[in-house]
Structure 1
Amino acid sequence: MKFIHLTDTHVRKAYDNSGIDAMLGQIESIVPGMERMLEETDWDGVDFVVVTGDLVHEGVAQDYTYLNEILRNKIPQNVQLFYVLGNHDEKDAFYKGMFNEEKTEPYYYIQYVDGYRLIMLDSAVPGKESGFIVEQELDWLKETLKEPYGKGSIVFLHHPLFWAATGGDTMAAKNGKDVMKILKESDAFAVFCGHTHTNAVNMDQGIFQSTADSAAFSLEIRKNNLAFTDKSGFSVVEIRDRAISVHQETMARDRAVVEMPLDIFAEELKKLDHED
C-alpha cells in the first residue's frame, strides 16, 4: 500500500490582517506551492491521499470547498482522498463545505484499503489548541478495534499521541496515553499525524508514529526563538505487511516570515487554549 500524507494545509481564500492570519498572508506560495508539490508527485502506485487536519485556517464553508477543488484537480481521479480535522478547523464549516450538511459533531470514520483498516480520528476540540479524543470517540475506537482485521489497523489524526521532543506536553493529545493503551491491545501498529509543522518518526510501546511536514509552513527552533518559515513538505509512505517506509518530500525554502522567543510563543499557546 502506498499513500501521500499531507497535513496542515491551512488554506483560506483570503486571510485577515492580524495574528497568525497575517503571517499566513505573507506566505504567498501556500496554495501555489502545494499545487506545485502535487504536480511534481509520482503518482505511480499511490492508493490514496490523506490530509491530517488544519485543512483550513479558521475559515468558512467556501474555504473547504476551495481546498477540495484544489486537491481533486491535482490528484488523479483513481486516487482516493481522505480528510481528518485539526484544531484550526471549524467543524460546522467543514461539514457544510464538503458535504452540504448541517453538523458539528466530531468527524471520525473507517476506510479499508488493500487489506488494511484505516481509522480516521478527530482530536480537535472547538476553541482549543490542544488535542483530545472525546469519550464517545474513545468508546467507538475500542469497539472498532475489538476484533483484528486483515493486515492490521493504521490510525490517522491531527495531534500526535506522544511527543518526546521539547514542548511535548503542548504538542501531544492530552489523552494520548489513553488512546495508546487501546492501540497497544489491538492490531493497530502505526499512527500518522500532523500539528507539529515538522517531520519526525517516533516509537512507543511498539507503535510507530510519523508526523509529516506542514504543506503550508514550518516551525523551527533557532536557539531561544521559534521561527515560522516558508519551508513546506509532505510524506510518501509505503507499507508492505508491517514494514513501513516514510520518505519526506520538502520544498527547499527556509525564509523566516515571523520569529519570536520560545517562552512568548508558549504563553500565546496557553492563551489560545484558554488555560492559566
Structure 2
Amino acid sequence: MIIAQFSDTHIKDGSEEGVAGMQAAVAHILQLPALPDVVVITGDCTDGGTATEYARFWELLQPLPMPVYVIPGNHDHRQRLHDTVGAQGRQPLPGFMQYTVEAGPLRLLMLDTLLPGSDAGELCPQRLQWLEDRLAEAPDKTTLVFMHHPPFRTGQAPFDRIGLRDAAAFGAIIARHAQVERVAAGHVHAGVQRRFQGTVAVTCPSVMHQLLPDFRQPERLIVATEPPAMLLHVWQEGIGLLTYTSPIAPPSAIIELHNGTDWLTPPREVRARGIQGQ
C-alpha cells in the first residue's frame, strides 16, 4: 500500500508558479516505478480560495488514475473546496472537511484544521471528539492522521505563531491510541519529523518549493529555497510503515542494483522512468 502525500500547492489566479508545481507533482507520481494506491493533499490547495482557483486545482489532478483526497489549509475556503471536489471518504463530520478513508490495511483520518479568518489552525471540541470516536472504534487498524497544521512547534517563530492552537488536546488523544503510526501535516513548506505522543509526526514539503530556514535567526524567516518534494508512505506486511521523501525532479532512468539474488556490478538500466514494463 502506497500513499503519496503532497501539500501547499497554492494555485493562484494570475500566477503560473503553483500550476507548474502541480503539473510537476502529477507527472512525478505517474513516473514512479510503482504507482501509489492513494494520493492525499494536505491543504493550501489554493492561495486565495476563489472558485476559479479551485477549478484549476481540480483540473490539474485529473490525469491521476487513483483516488485523491484533500483537506483544507489556512489559505483555503472550506465550502468552495468542498463544492469543487464533492463529498469524500466516509463518516464525514458535518460542517467540516473531516472524514475517514479505508485504504486496504490502513485507515486514514483526514482532519480539518481550518480556522476562518486566521492563518493559525484549530481543532475545536467537535473536531477533537470526532477524532477520539474514530480512533476508539478501530483500535486494531493501523492509522495515519493527516492534517494541514503540524501539532508541534517547529522552532521558526513566524510559523509557530500560526500553528495549531489545540496541539495539547490533540496530542492527548493521539497518546491514548497506539494504532496511530503517523501524523502527517503540511503548512511549513519543509520536511520535518519528530517524536510525538508515542508516534512519529512529519511535515510534507511543498510542491512549489521547500524552505531551509536559517536556524540562527528563529524570530525571522530567512530561508533558502530548495527543490520541491512529496512524501510516500509505504506499508508492507512484516515491515510496517515507512515514509520516504521523494524529490520532484525531471524523469530519470530506472537502474537495477540488485536482481533479487546478487548485487549487479556494474548496475544496469532497466527502463526510462515513467515507461511501464521492461
Q: TM-score range by the shorter chain?
A: 0.7 to 0.9
2 CA distance for matches of 1:43 and 1:193?
25
Query: Which residue of structure 2 aligns with residue 264 of structure 1?
Result: none
2:184 matches 1:192: yes
Q: More deviation in 218-227 or 232-241?
A: 218-227
* Closer, same or farther: CA 47–172 of 1 in aligned 2, 3 Å: same
Q: Distance in 2 between matches of 1:50 and 1:122?
A: 13
Letter in 1 for 2:78: K
What do the CA deviations read for 1:103-148 (whole angstroms, capped 9, x no partner)?
A: x932100010112211000011001111110111111111111233
What TM-score, normalized to structure 2?
0.76
After TM superposition, give the deviation of residue 200 of structure 1 in Å: 1.3
Provide the residue aligned with 2:135 in structure 1: 145
Deviation at 1:234, TM superposition (A): 1.1
Whether 1:244 and 2:231 are equivalent positions in the alignment is no
Q: 1:99 to 1:61 in 2, by over 3 A?
A: farther
**Does structure 1 residue 174 correspond to structure 2 residue 165?**
yes
Instruction: Decide which of 204, 211, 227 is 2:223's aligned counterpart.
Output: 227
CA distance in 2 between counterparts of 1:33 and 1:140 reads 33
Q: 2:212–2:226: 8 Å Cα contact kept in structure 1?
A: no
Between the aligned residues of both structures, percent identity stands at 25
Instruction: Report Cα offsets for 1:193-230 as digits up to 9, x if no partner.
Output: 10011001111221111111101233332354523737
Measured in 2, the distance between the counterparts of 1:81 and 1:44 equals 16
CA distance in 2, matches of 1:244, 1:170: 31
Equivalence for 2:110: 120
Deviation at 1:88, TM superposition (A): 0.5
1:210 aligned onto 2:207: no
Q: Do the aligned partners of 1:58 and 1:88 also contact (CA within 8 Å) in 2? A: yes
After superposition, residues 87-98 of structure 1 pair within 5 angstroms as 87-98=74-85
Query: Where in structure 2 are there 5+ consecutive unaligned residues?
Result: 88-93, 250-278
Shift of 1:69: 1.4
**Aligned-partner Cα distance in 1 for 2:107–2:226:** 34
Larger radius of gyration: 2
Match of 1:36 in 2: 24
Distance 1:171 1:89 in 2: 15
User: What displacement does 1:43 show?
Assistant: 5.7
RMSD: 2.5
- Secondary structure (helix, strand or coil) at the match of 1:177 reads helix
Cα shift at 1:45: 4.5
More helix by proportion, 1 or 2? 1
Determine the structure 1 residue equivalent to 2:67: 80
Matches of 1:190 and 1:115, distance apart in 2 = 14
Query: Secondary structure, in 3 states, of the residue corresponding to 2:68?
Result: strand
| 1:258-269 alignment, distance < 5 Å | none
